[in-house]
Structures are given as structure tokens and as C-alpha cells.
Structure 1
Amino acid sequence: MKDESMSAAESPLGQNIIKLISNLCFSFFVVSVLVFTVIAITYQPPDPWLDSSRAITSSLSDTLPNSTFHTDDSLLTTGEDLVPLPPSPSPSSVSADTPIFLAGEICNPSAAINCSDPHALDAVRRFTAKVFFRRSIVFLSYEPPVAGASPGECDVSWRFRNKREKSWRKYRDFRRFRLGVTENCTYEVSSMGKFRSGVNARAPPLKSPSDPMAKARTVEIVDNEINDTIPTVGSELEFKTGRYLYYSRGGDYCKGMNQYLWSFLCGLGEAKFLNRTFVMDLDVCLAAEYTSSGKDEDGKDFRYYFDFEHLKESASVVEEQEFLRGWRRWDRATRGKKGVGGKITARKVPTYKVTPMQLKKDRSTIIWRQFDGPEPENYWYRVCEGRAAKFVQRPWQAVWKSKRLMDIVSQIAGKMDWDYDGVHVVRGGKARNKNLWPNLDSDTSPDALVQKLLKVVSSWRNLYIATNEPYYNFFDKLRSHYKVHLLDDYQEMWGNKSEWYNEMRELSGGKPVEFDGYMRVAVDTEVFYRAKTQVETFNNLTSDCKDGINTC
């Protein structure tokens, strides 16, 4: 009974203490809120991003000149450089994503357009960004607009790359735009011309010094972004200190291009494994399957088909004739002389059975592989077979298609505004061989193509057909459903007045170069690869196997 009375007496005191603590905490919270509110009202932060646009511009002007990173004209203009600049009092730095308001004294919708006005370029940039938003084009840089053919027209040139291409090579386009001034005083593009329609924005023509008819006609400037000049060996001393791997011509010469590349990359891979410079023959023999004469044709140039500039950047190579000249110069310099380090040491390797691993520690200046045996003993790729395949890696990334051919690819895709679908129709000899491909001919007939393509490609789309079918009118039934494009529709791109034709003449010393079968296959395939929808013969059109019956 005594314990119960004491507990009752202590209970009010405990509750009072708890109430007192709660009141103190609440009072502290209220005071803190009042203090923070007063500070927020009376204090003006010096943060320029919370201030006016004038403060933003002043802050950036003070910061950027003192930063450690400066942009200049020598830097490649890429996507991030096209991000709109912060607001500026200058009318030349208006965002490309917002309307361009003109000054009151020139706000006249009927006034002539001044193409040199920076606002004109901003309007073009806004327009192209909308048009090509869902296409595979990345704009890299723009040139200042120039006047078009009539008032209100401006021609604009730009550099771009295609996201479907693994390389970062740049291509060019120049188009004609019709501009106007709207009632609310903004520049606006009303229409854009087709690919390379803005001829006034292209580089001015130059006369070709190697052309005997230079006075009668002009040619376009060659692509100044291509540097496929042949590197020199250097002085005799530089030649002596080098280490080389030299392959004599073997049985791969005049074989198909696939075998040529397989063998060439074997030699290039062995040179990399041995840490040597590969001596390469720029002379290529084109197999009969790619020639109009139906016979093997030698005397072709590696640079006709592949990007020599990229190869030089990706691997250590020297051209064969330059290499042999350097070798002869050294021999003449050391003939009958003493104390010059002796002659060049060269180890001849007569058979592919001497493996790259056995040559790894060889200190000879030149390792000279000779392929004098009968076929297939004299194929270069035999060096990389067997155990050597575990050590020698073919540098596929070193070989790209020629930029001159890829320029044609870009032009064809550009003519369709990079908005097209593609179908690859394999016919030719395979369609005639019923034993290996019993259904191919009927599965790729005009009626079958119409029936199958209408299920996967919308009507009246641009449809590019990559094919080896020689009969041009074979696909006429598709023209009732699609805007059909074939490689032969673009013959002007390699004709005798084309940019490609003139550039190839510069490369060949003034001789005309034929647009041969391998070039056709390369361009046809690359245009197809850039299509939005790709319909393959052996995956989509026929149940036959690509390599013949029972090989699927």
C-alpha cells in the first residue's frame, strides 16, 4: 500500500519534465525557422546562375579566358561544339534551338535575305537538326552560307559522318535553302534542296595540271582529307637501322579479293608479331570475276579499293619499290667501303613451314619470305596456319574500304536523304544452279519479291536493291509499289565528269580508271548496310542455304 502511494506522488513530476523538454525543442525549432527565413529574405547570393543573363555572360567571360582549356580552329568540330552558347549581348551567338529575332530596323518580311548574316546559318542549323533527327547523320561542322541562285536562297556546306559506319571519316554535303523572315521577325527555312544541290557552296574548280585538255575543261578539287601518298624509306642509315619483312609475290596473285585480303593480312599480322615493317606491293591483280574483259587484269592499285592512309596509321608498312630503292642505295653506299657497318643482312625463307615463332629472335635486317613452290604451297596465308594461328593475329581493323568509294556510297545514300530500306537479291549463277539452290530462282522472281517485300517494307518507300542481277528491268514490278533505286541509276557518280573519275586519274598518273566489278560490289553492299530495313536473300527471301543444299 505504501509503494502505490509513492508512485502516484512521483508521476506528475515526470510528466512535467517531459513537457518542459518538448517545449524547449519546439521553441528551438521555431527560432531556427525564423532565423533562416530572415537570412533568405535579406541575403543576395553572388551565384551568377541565379542572377540575370547579364551576370551569366559576365561570369563566363571572366572564367573562360583563364581556363586551362582553349578551343581554336585547329581542333576538330564535333557534336559537343554545336551546343548553343549562353546568352550574350551579341546577336551572332543566339541559340540554334530558339527563334532568331531580328533588329527592328531590318525586320521586314519582304526584305532580301543576307546569307552572310549569322542568323541565316542558325536558322539552317535548326532546320537540318529537325529534318535529320531520326536519321543516322552526325553533323560535325558548317561553313558560312553563300548566296544561292536567286534572292532568298542560300547555299550551305557542312561536314558529317554516318553513325552506321565504324570509322570517324568525314564526308561533305552542300545544299540550297530557301529562307524568309516571318511576321514576328525571325529567320525561317521554308525548303531544302536535295543532296549537293547548293553548288555555290562547293569548293571552286581547279584545272588539272596532268590533263592535256585542261584549257578546255575543269575538274573538281580532289578530296583534301585523303592522304595516300607513298612514304619514303629515308636515308641509308635509317634504312639500315630498320627491320623488314618482305614477301615475294606468290600464288595469291590474281585470285579472288577475299583470298587476297586473307593472305595480305596474314603477312601484316606476322610483321606485327615480329615487330617489323611489312614491305607491301601496291600492285593488285583483279580476278576475272570482277573485270569487264572476263580475264585477270594486273596493274591495279591497292589505293583504288582500300584506304592506304588508314593502313599507314594502323600498321608499319613501306611500299615495295621504295624499299628496293633504299636497299640499292645502301648497297651502293657501302660498296668497297670499310667501317660502315657492313652490308644489309637478309635471311631468305624458302618455305612457309618455317614458322613466325622460329623467326622471332632473328636479327637480320630483312626476313625475305619466298613463295616459289606449286599451288597451294605458295599461298601467303599458309604462313598463318597450324600452330602459328595462335600467335599471329590478322589486324582486320587496319583495312578499310577506299574513302573514294565510300564517298560514292555517301552520295547515293544522300540522294535518298538517308531515309530508305534495302533488299539484297542474289541471283546470277546461283539462281541458275538448281542442284545447289533449287528454290532461289523462283523465290527471287519479280512476283515473289513483290509478295514478300510488301510484308516488311511500307509502300512507296525508297527501296535500294543491291544485286548481281544483270538485267536492269528485272525489278520493274516493284516500281508499282516502291521508289526503286539500283546502282546503275547513279552512273554519273563514276562517269568521266565525276569527282571520283578525276581523283582516280590524279592517282593513276592521268590514265582513266574503270569502275570495275569489285568496286560495284563494295559500293552496292555499303549502301545496303546503311538502309533502315535490311532484307537479306538467304535469311528472308528463300529457304535455300547460302553455300548450297544441306549447308545451313
Structure 2
Amino acid sequence: MANLTCVLFALAILIFTLITAIYKPEEDPHLLQPTFTSSEHAIAKTREDYLNLTLLTPTGLSLDDVASNVSTSGLECVGSWDQPIDCTNPEVFHLMMRVTIETFKDVHFYKFGKPVRGTNSSTCDMAWRYRPKEGNADAFNKDYRRFVISRKEDCSFNVVGVGEYHTGLNARKPKKGYQRGFEKMNSSSKQVKSSAGVLPVVGGIADGELHVVNSNKDLFSDGKKYLVYTGGGDRCKSMNHYLWSLLCALGEARYLNRTFVMDFSICLSSKYTASKQDEEGKDFRFYFDLKHLMELGSVMEEGQFWFEWEKWERRGGQGLYLVEDFRVTPMKLADVKDVLIMRKFGLVEPDNYWYRVCEGEAESVIHRPWHMLSKSRRLMDIVSSIASRMNSDFDSVHVVRGERAKNTELWPNLAADTSPNALLSLLQNKIEEGRDIYIATNEPNTSFFDPLMDKYGTHFLDDYKDLWNESSVWYEVTKKLNKGITVEFDGYMRISVDTEVFLKGKKRIETFNDLTSDCKEGINVCPSIS
């Protein structure tokens, strides 16, 4: 009996080994992307979630990666060539991918979304993620197109035409049910599917919903500790000031291994608003990727924290350690056992700026976690849209003028060095005639640059207003985030988008590095040359 058992056991092992050797799992025909086998090739999430993927797949997908002879699944040819196109057919999908790769030769492709039906029975929408072959390639672009497809008499398919960027409306349909402001999500809510089905949209819009702790769970009983900053003079300052202080606070929280309690309502400085007044109540998610921040750091929304803290105190909870002097260094707080450390800042500027905590002795210890901050995906979608409309084949010039050009005491040469004639003289030696040029500028009247149009195709941010007007996805999403109130595409958003599009240019020309001998901060504050 024992021998029989051993024989059966050995036979079972042999059968399992044979099955393992010959089995190949089916590939998903709806999503083609590179596969990595080495653990050292882990994808690091950063600004657009996949910042370093270029290092892993420098050439992206090619025609060799796409099947060219997918069968028509037994379709009877006779009388069938006028039937509706099935966008889910693998043959249609692979044909669309091949045509895309052959049509757009200046880019590397990394992922294709599943095709969905377009406006009629002969159109299919498809999205993809890509990078230009030349120039700055530190982030993905996204494209969405509509394909017109016909069937030949032999039942094979043919792409009749490919639409312009963003013609594939179904391919970029945003998810529903997540733009709920700061309130708790309804656990019973379900994702609404479009009639065309749900496409795994390439680089879909981040929900950025706030983390809400289950009210049945004691927030303070699991050993977690918190850090909060209150008061101070940082509010309504420039965004650079705000970020410098916020990152100091986040850096201290990381050093102390505490969750940072954060106010996600921003006061936008008057320098960025149409009203020229400071404006309270701006949502952090308008400008930055909250989901990215919360994935990389331990952060909790201020309103919910104080709600839970009040319940904790009513039950007799204790543990508040108050610090009212920024000169108390983070190193002195490392051994504090209390649940909450509260830094309270006074009224006297500049001693009430948060970033003062990270000065002096703390400067070499507290490192600002810049990697935790990423621009809003809603803004980055606009950036990708602009780049795609120029087929990611453009050069860029940053032209700073405005008030600086008028101030001849600090910038004596800037106005002349950024005049159209001066620009033409410089660009003819740097950029080939006939190229598309994106001009990122604070010059309010873009007709100032009209003389460049004789030699170059010029593009400006305001050429793409449709990407944030009332019919845009950005408008719809931000309005929902803002509880139904229209959101202004404000000055800081413009700066963010302008800068990011500039960085995507194949050749990039800066004002203070390339166009003028004046210094960025003025004639009396030029960096010393050693």
C-alpha cells in the first residue's frame, strides 16, 4: 500500500511539472504594454506616476510587439463588409495600434487603452500614453483619437482616417462618483458605466478624495502620533512661500515619524487672481495631486482630525504638547511621547513663518520632501493636451517681460533683448526655420510676437482656452470638486501649465540663460562667479 502511494505521488508530481512547462496564460488583448522581469526594475511613482519608466523601456512599443495577422474569428465574408464594426475585436484593436505607431513616428508608445465605439457603427475611440523620441522625456503624454474603420470584401479591416487630438470622446470619458468635495464618500455608490463601456483610460484623472477614518475606529488608540501647525503669517503669500513653509512642516513630520495634520484649503495670493485680491477657500487639489501626496506621506485632513480629537478629549484622552517658539528644534521634540505636538505661531512676521522651523541647526537635519508634491493631474492633462496638439514635435522659448521689462534699473537690457527682432536674430542660430515654437510668457499681448510668425509656427497658452472653458473636462471636474461652484483658471494654474508645456519642448531657450545678459533677480543680485 505504501509503494502504491509513493507511485501515485510521483505520478502526480510528473503531471504537474508537465502542465507547468507547457501552460501559457492568455494575454489580455485589450491592453498591450511592456513586461519587466527584474525586481530591480520596479517603477517609481513620481510626478505623473511613472516618471522613471523611460529608464526601463527607452524605446517603448514597436510594430514587432503588435500582432499583424489576427484572424477574423470565423466571420463569413459574403455580405458582411457593411456590418457595424466591433471595436472589441482583437483584429481591430491591433490594426488601430499598428496604424498609430506607423502614423506618429516621432514618439515612443508605452500603453494603449481598449478601443470603444465612437459616434457611429464605423468609428472606434482609443487612448494611449506616449513620450516624444527627442527632447524632454521625464513624463508621459496622453492622446485620444477617433478612428474611422471600414471592412474590405475579404473581411479584413482598414483604417480610413485618424481624427485630431481629443476626437475620441468615449476614450477620455472621466469616471463618475468621486468628485465629492471633502465630505465622506457614500460606500454604497457605484461607478456609472457609459453606454460604450468603461475604458481603462490612460492616465485617468485622479480622484484625490480625502482619507476619511472609520468613525468606529479610535484614531488615537493604535499608537499613531500627530503634528499640527497653527497660525502664522504664511497665509495668502506667494505659492513659492506657501510651498517652502508647507514642505518644512511635512519634513518635520517625517523626521518625527508623525502624521501631519493639514489644512487643504489654500488662500491664493492676489498676484494670481483676476480680482487682484487675496482669495480664501481654494482647494489644494486644484493645484496639486492630493492622492500622490497621501500615497507618499502620512497626512490627515485638519477638519476630521479636530472632530476626532474632540471625541478623544471627551473620553478623557490626553497628550497635547504645545510649542510656541520656532527655535525649539525638531531634534528636541524627537523623544516627545504625547499623541499630538502642536506648533503655534504668533502674529509677528517673519518670526511666525513656518519655514523658520527648518532654519539654523535644523537645516542639515530636516529635508523637504519635494518628491511628495506633484502638480494636479487635471492641470497635467491640459499640458498633455497642448503637447499632443503640436504632435509633441515643437521647441519652446520662455520670454519673461511684463513688469521686469519696464524696470530698467534692475533689468536694463531685458526689454531690448526680448524684442521680436532680437528674438529672431537669436533663434535663427538655434532653431530651424519652419519649426513650431511654444512661447511661454507673461507678456499680456501675444501679438507682440507676430513678427516671429514669418519664420516659425508660434503657439501660446491662450491658443488652447478650450481646454479649460465651460465645455472642457477640466471645468466639469473642478466644478464638482468645488461643490458645484465654478472655478477660475487662475494665474498660478496658468504658470503651472505654461511651465510644464515649455519643459516638453525638444529645444528649450530660457530668458535669463539664453536671451539676455541681465540677471534673473536684477542687476544688483547677480550670482557670483567663482
TM-score bracket for this pair, using the shorter chain length: 0.7 to 0.9
Matches within 5 A, 1:367-406: 367-406=341-380
**Rounded Cα–Cα distance in structure 2 between residues aligned with 1:477 and 1:500:** 33
Matches within 5 A, 1:30-429: 66=23, 78-80=33-35, 96=66, 98=68, 106=77, 114-116=85-87, 117-135=89-107, 137-146=108-117, 149=120, 153-162=122-131, 164=136, 166=138, 172-179=142-149, 187-199=157-169, 201-203=171-173, 225-234=205-214, 235=216, 237-240=218-221, 241-334=223-316, 343-429=317-403
**Rounded Cα–Cα distance in structure 2 between residues aligned with 1:236 and 1:207:** 25
**Rounded Cα–Cα distance in structure 1 between residues aligned with 2:385 and 2:265:** 28
With normalisation by structure 2, the TM-score equals 0.77
| 1:515 has 2:489 as partner | yes
Q: Based on CA coordinates, which of the two structures has the bigger radius of gyration?
A: 1
Cα-to-partner distance string for 1:13-71 (whole Å, 9 max, x where unaligned): xxxxxxxxxxxxxxxxxxxxxxxxxxxxxxxxxxxxxxxxxxxxxxxx9657747xx67
**Cα RMSD (Å) of the superposition?**
3.4
**Rounded Cα–Cα distance in structure 2 between residues aligned with 1:225 and 1:147:** 21
**Higher RCO, 1 vs 2 (CA within 8 Å, ≥6 residues apart):** 2
Measured at CA, do residues 145 and 350 of structure 1 come closer, stay the same or move farther in structure 2, by a change above 3 Å?
A: closer
409-418 or 100-109, which deviates more: 100-109
Q: How far has the Cα of 1:282 moved from its partner? A: 0.7
**Structure 1 unmatched ranges of 5 or more:** 1-60, 82-93, 211-219, 335-342
Q: Tell me if the contact between 2:145 and 2:163 (Cα under 8 Å) persists in the aligned partners.
A: yes
**Rounded Cα–Cα distance in structure 1 between residues aligned with 2:418 and 2:262:** 42
**Rounded Cα–Cα distance in structure 2 between residues aligned with 1:450 and 1:349:** 58
Measured at CA, do residues 176 and 515 of structure 1 come closer, stay the same or move farther in structure 2, by a change above 3 Å?
A: same
* Structure 1 residue aligned with 2:519: 545
Q: How far has the Cα of 1:105 moved from its partner? A: 6.0
* Structure 1 residue aligned with 2:184: none
Measured at CA, do residues 182 and 243 of structure 1 come closer, stay the same or move farther in structure 2, by a change above 3 Å?
A: same
Q: Tell me if the contact between 2:417 and 2:515 (Cα under 8 Å) persists in the aligned partners.
A: yes
| 1:447 has 2:421 as partner | yes
Q: How far has the Cα of 1:446 moved from its partner? A: 1.6
Measured at CA, do residues 76 and 283 of structure 1 come closer, stay the same or move farther in structure 2, by a change above 3 Å?
A: farther
Cα-to-partner distance string for 1:204-248 (whole Å, 9 max, x where unaligned): 9979999xxxxxxxxx99996413111124446332432110100
Q: How far has the Cα of 1:189 moved from its partner? A: 3.4
Q: Tell me if the contact between 2:398 and 2:502 (Cα under 8 Å) persists in the aligned partners.
A: yes
**Rounded Cα–Cα distance in structure 2 between residues aligned with 1:96 and 1:308:** 36
Q: How far has the Cα of 1:276 moved from its partner? A: 0.4
Measured at CA, do residues 140 and 204 of structure 1 come closer, stay the same or move farther in structure 2, by a change above 3 Å?
A: closer
**Rounded Cα–Cα distance in structure 2 between residues aligned with 1:76 and 1:346:** 52
Measured at CA, do residues 250 and 298 of structure 1 come closer, stay the same or move farther in structure 2, by a change above 3 Å?
A: same
Measured at CA, do residues 209 and 356 of structure 1 come closer, stay the same or move farther in structure 2, by a change above 3 Å?
A: closer
**Structure 2 unmatched ranges of 5 or more:** 1-17, 37-63, 181-193
With normalisation by structure 1, the TM-score equals 0.75
Measured at CA, do residues 436 and 238 of structure 1 come closer, stay the same or move farther in structure 2, by a change above 3 Å?
A: same
Q: How many residues align?
A: 456
Measured at CA, do residues 429 and 124 of structure 1 come closer, stay the same or move farther in structure 2, by a change above 3 Å?
A: same
* Structure 2 residue aligned with 1:528: 502
What amino acid maps onto 1:118 in structure 2? P
What amino acid maps onto 1:315 in structure 2? G
Cα-to-partner distance string for 1:156-201 (whole Å, 9 max, x where unaligned): 2224154756567xx7533122445689986443532211113354
Q: Tell me if the contact between 1:424 and 1:465 (Cα under 8 Å) persists in the aligned partners.
A: yes
User: Which has the larger share of helix?
Assistant: 1
**Rounded Cα–Cα distance in structure 1 between residues aligned with 2:79 and 2:516:** 62
Identity among equivalent positions (%) equals 42
Cα-to-partner distance string for 1:297-328 (whole Å, 9 max, x where unaligned): 11111111100000000000111111110111
